Amino acid sequence: MPKVRTKDILDRFKLELISGEEGVNRPITMTDISRPGLELAGFFDYYPAERVQLLGKTELTFIQKLDPETRADRLERLCTDITPVIIVTRDMPVPDELIEASEREAVPVLRAKLKTTRFSSRLTNFLETKLAPTTAVHGVLIDIYGVGVLITGKSGVGKSETALELVKRGHRLVADDCVEIRQEDDDTLVGNSPELIEHLLEIRGLGIINVMTLFGAGAVRSYKKISLVINLELWDQTKQYDRLGLDEETMRIIDTSIPKLTVPVRPGRNLAVIIEVAAMNFRLKRMGVNAAEQFASRLSDVIEDGDHEDR
């Protein structure tokens, strides 16, 4: 099922439908937008017909200078069976030849009031968000001091209970159990909750609770950029855990690598506080303060001083 149809653009930007109403359900599969200047000049060798076609003041002024027969031919060639939509900007008059061709081929022609560059920018942002690669991860997403922390781990390890404690401490829940993630840029992952379970937490023994109803609108948010992954796992006596914080582990989601910490779980450990401090420490690292590296540097200095004294 297509993620975006022409009708979505029509509704989202409150555009005016001029012609080609039969094609308003055509799928839009690309985020790229085409301004067909060369095509209107007669060069159709590389015409990207599958893109949204945008006609601004430059294109429409050029069209008017063509003789009627050439104008009709060029505009008809713009309307193919895979062209999702042709949008005229600046509220400019739509050529009659385009209306006739679009009606024949069922290509929607819409009109926008905005200037071409501004509308192109807004439309590109909308399409990139809607058509971004997506996946779903089992876990909990929390906004802690502005850091999007994805808490993962096996079922029953205590992810939701930890999330509840974090919400009580003033942080904001984004998603519990299932986190929908989209890659908006090469290094940007944004997570949100499926609509069905938005603002809900499942706590074993209590059942489903509504975080927004219990703690208020300030305890939830709709989406958040994921900056850190914390994996909870049951304490393994045989496993060597990182005690200095010098090891840089990452988790790959779609095409993006996110810093990852592994936190062992056992009775007596306050996971909420540990995760809270991990988020604060992550913020410090982004500001250039790395406690583990500072300690390693001090340790090296002490060892070097000791060697000098021995000599």
| Residues annotated as catalytic (active site), given as ranges | 138, 159, 177, 243
Please return the burial class of 106, using the count of CB atoms within 10 Å of its CB with bins 0-12, 13-18 and 19+: middle
Q: Rounded to the nearest 10 degrees, what angle do helices 68-78 and 96-105 cross at?
A: 40
d(CA 289, CA 130): 37
Nearest-angstrom CA–CA distance, 49 and 77: 10
**Both tokens assigned to 149:** 């922390």
Residue 7 near residue 24 (C-beta atoms within 8 A): yes
CA dihedral 188, 120, 32, 108 (to 10 degrees): 130
C-alpha span between 160 and 99 (Å, rounded): 56
Give the annotated binding-site residues: 153-160, 202
Binding residues for Mg(2+): 160, 202
